[in-house]
């Protein structure tokens, strides 16, 4: 490295060259080299330019990588697509009597000569083509089993789900936590979870609920199409329907609390609107709608109304208002503060009249069934499902929408979403935004695919762990005998 030598003479010597006297300015006894200083700036400028070029190249590579992810369905290679509801186990029961020997999951069941099932939309080749990363397999039994053998039948359905998973270890992997979903996805397998659809499956016994949770059930749909002794189903909101309980009974609220304690998600698909409101108010953890769509687009009692959707973000609205109040307190005199507080209280009260439930950081997983998205099995299309997804996003927010297609549980799916292989088409359509639609970024599509559900699942687990740490014990309350009415023939413990 060249060394500079400052002297009191009229010349400055640097290794290998001399400077002329007029190139040196005298300042006291020191001399400043006017040639060396510009040369130093050139060196620094060159280094800075090189660093800037490197940064630009890195950003360009990063942004170009993001652009590739924006190809809609390619996000499904990065995060698991988790479908909240598939009724394949019901088809196993109704068509094969749960006998795995009569079942080959690698076949196309639509054209299978044994099954001859026009409403079978799920098999392994289609799941793989559809890039499914996680699936809630549903243990459902008919409402006809209520007060009879619902518990036994539900346990049989849980059993067949587990046997299905074990029978295809190269493709399916059992999951019972948010972390184990990622484990399966990273192993290249479909995370397979268990759900129980219908509160009648627990026979109004919290002990049965605990056993099912122990067996792996990770959400309970509070009702199906029938009321339970502690909750109303959605048909009470339909034409000619009459509420039996006007929401959740006190015992129904205990069911929700026990689900929270167990770390099992509360599913509000199929329930009446008042049960939705009651459950959201009671639950200490986020809730889900495992397979429901937007009531504003199709006015079916199975869908979710906007005032319920609004509750997903209402609490944050209140917090935002009070943050503003605090800022105003700091900068404005007391009289203006009082006026603003009064105005805000009025606003909140008006909001509460419209939005009855409290905030819940849950997720609505959109149902694809033609009858629920278009109110007509004949006219449903992929674009109508997109309308439902966009509506829920616009009302509740992009953090509160997911996928719960209901394949194998219904008779007709929309054109363009005929079976489980079609999920990529949906994500590609969302990525190609039309006029008037919200823009779906790669991050948005990841949330829709599975990150929103994973967040809810993780939050439910945190509530479970917090309650355990606080010493909360299992609820041991029994359903009041009067709640059963005349449905006591099959009970011997009353």
pLDDT digits (tens, 9 = 90+) for 107-163: 887 777 767 788 899 999 999 999 999 999 999 999 999 999 999 999 999 999 999
87 classed as catalytic:
yes
Task: Select which of 387, 406, 408, 444 is catalytic.
Answer: 406
Q: Are strands 363-366 and 190-197 parallel, antiparallel or unpaired?
A: unpaired
Copy the structure tokens of residue 322: 């009070």
197 classed as catalytic:
yes
Domain ranges of the chain: 80-317+357-476
List phi, psi (to 5°) of 197. Answer: -105, 105
* 3-state SS string for 15-39: CCEECCHHHEEEECCEEEECCHHHH
Task: Select which of 87, 203, 237, 387 is catalytic.
Answer: 87
Whole-number pLDDT of residue 378: 84
Residues of the chain with pLDDT under 70: 1-70, 114, 313-329, 346-358
Whole-number pLDDT of residue 273: 98
CA distances from 91 to 87, 201, 225, 267 (A): 7, 18, 18, 22
Integer Cα distance of 310 and 316 in angstroms: 11
Identify the three-state secondary structure at position 196: strand
270 classed as catalytic:
yes
Task: Select which of 270, 300, 301, 400 is catalytic.
Answer: 270
Whole-number pLDDT of residue 493: 84
Q: What angle, 0 to 180 degrees and rounded to 10, lies between the N-to-C axes of helices 452-469 and 250-262?
A: 100
Integer Cα distance of 197 and 224 in angstroms: 7
Copy the structure tokens of residue 156: 């049989």
Copy the structure tokens of residue 478: 């029994």
Copy the structure tokens of residue 310: 């609004």
Residue-wise pLDDT tens digits, 334-368: 888 888 888 877 666 554 444 344 578 999 999 99
Burial of 481 (0-12, 13-18, 19+ CB in 10 A): exposed
Integer Cα distance of 87 and 109 in angstroms: 14
Integer Cα distance of 403 and 483 in angstroms: 35
300 classed as catalytic:
no
Identify the three-state secondary structure at position 236: helix
* Residue 82 and residue 133 in contact, taking contact as beta carbons nearer than 8 Å: yes
Tell me the torsion sign for CA atoms 317, 318, 324, 328. positive
Task: Select which of 73, 83, 123, 197 is catalytic.
Answer: 197
CA distances from 319 to 324, 337, 452 (A): 9, 17, 22
Copy the structure tokens of residue 256: 């929700």
Q: At 420, which helix (H) or strand (E)?
A: none
Task: Select which of 31, 245, 291, 300 is catalytic.
Answer: 291
Residues sharing a CB contact under 8 Å with residue 260, sequence separation 6 or more, in sequence order: 266, 283, 284, 285, 460, 463, 464, 467
Q: Which fold has domain 80-317+357-476?
A: TIM Barrel (3.20.20)
200 classed as catalytic:
no
Task: Select which of 31, 73, 83, 85 is catalytic.
Answer: 85
Closest to 479 measured CA to CA, from 272, 250, 187, 146: 250
Neighbours of 78 (CB within 10 A): 13
Whole-number pLDDT of residue 337: 86
Specify the DSSP class assigned to residue 351. Answer: H
* Residue 282 and residue 253 in contact, taking contact as beta carbons nearer than 8 Å: yes
Integer Cα distance of 188 and 60 in angstroms: 30
Task: Select which of 224, 310, 388, 391 is catalytic.
Answer: 224
Q: State the Rg of the chain over Cα.
A: 31
31 classed as catalytic:
no
406 classed as catalytic:
yes
Closest to 165 measured CA to CA, from 88, 97, 224: 88
Identify the three-state secondary structure at position 408: coil
């Amino acid at each position: 490295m060249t060394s500079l030598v400052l002297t009191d003479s009229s010349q400055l010597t640097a290794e290998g060259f001399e400077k002329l006297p007029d190139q040196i300015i005298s300042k006291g006894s020191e001399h400043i080299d006017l040639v060396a200083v510009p040369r130093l700036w050139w060196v620094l400028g060159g280094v800075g330019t090189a660093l800037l070029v490197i940064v630009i190249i890195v950003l360009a590579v990063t942004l170009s990588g993001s652009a590739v992810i924006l190809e809609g369905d390619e996000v499904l290679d990065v995060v698991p697509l988790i479908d909240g509801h598939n009724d394949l186990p019901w088809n196993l029961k109704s068509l094969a009597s749960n006998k795995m020997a009569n079942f080959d999951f690698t076949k196309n069941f639509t054209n299978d000569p044994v099954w001859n099932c026009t409403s079978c939309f799920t098999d392994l080749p289609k799941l793989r083509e559809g890039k499914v990363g996680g699936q809630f397999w549903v243990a459902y039994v008919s409402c006809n089993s209520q007060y009879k053998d619902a518990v036994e039948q539900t346990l049989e359905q849980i059993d067949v789900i587990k046997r299905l998973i074990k029978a295809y270890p190269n493709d399916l992997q059992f999951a019972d936590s948010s972390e184990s979903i990622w484990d399966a996805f990273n192993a290249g397998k479909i995370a397979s979870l268990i759900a129980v659809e219908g509160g009648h499956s627990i026979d109004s016994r919290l002990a049965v609920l605990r056993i099912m949770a122990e067996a792996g059930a990770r959400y309970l749909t509070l009702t199906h199409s029938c009321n339970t002794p502690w909750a109303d189903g959605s048909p009470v909101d339909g034409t000619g329907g009459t509420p039996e309980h006007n929401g959740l009974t006190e015992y129904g609220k205990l069911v929700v609390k026990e689900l929270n304690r167990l770390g099992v998600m509360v599913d509000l698909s199929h329930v009446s609107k008042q049960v939705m409101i009651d459950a959201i108010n009671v639950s200490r953890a986020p809730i889900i709608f495992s397979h429901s769509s937007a009531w504003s687009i199709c006015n079916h009692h199975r869908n979710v109304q906007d005032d319920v959707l609004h509750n997903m973000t209402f609490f944050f609205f209140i917090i935002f208002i009070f943050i503003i109040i605090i800022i105003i307190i700091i900068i404005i005199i007391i009289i203006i503060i009082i006026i603003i507080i009064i105005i805000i209280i009025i606003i909140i009260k008006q909001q509460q009249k419209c939005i009855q439930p409290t905030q819940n950081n849950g997720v609505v997983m959109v149902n694809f069934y033609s009858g629920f998205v278009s109110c007509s099995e004949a006219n449903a299309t992929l674009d109508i499902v997109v309308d439902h997804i966009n509506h829920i996003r616009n009302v509740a927010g992009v953090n509160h929408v997911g996928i719960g297609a209901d394949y194998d549980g219904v008779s007709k799916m929309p054109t363009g979403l005929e079976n489980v292989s079609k999920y990529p088409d949906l994500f590609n359509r969302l990525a190609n935004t039309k006029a008037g639609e919200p823009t779906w970024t790669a991050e948005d599509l990841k949330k829709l695919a599975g990150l929103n559900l994973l967040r809810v699942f993780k939050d439910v687990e945190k509530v479970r762990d917090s309650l355990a740490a606080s010493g909360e014990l299992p609820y041991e309350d029994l359903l009041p005998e009067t709640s059963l009415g005349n449905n006591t023939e099959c009970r011997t413990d009353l």
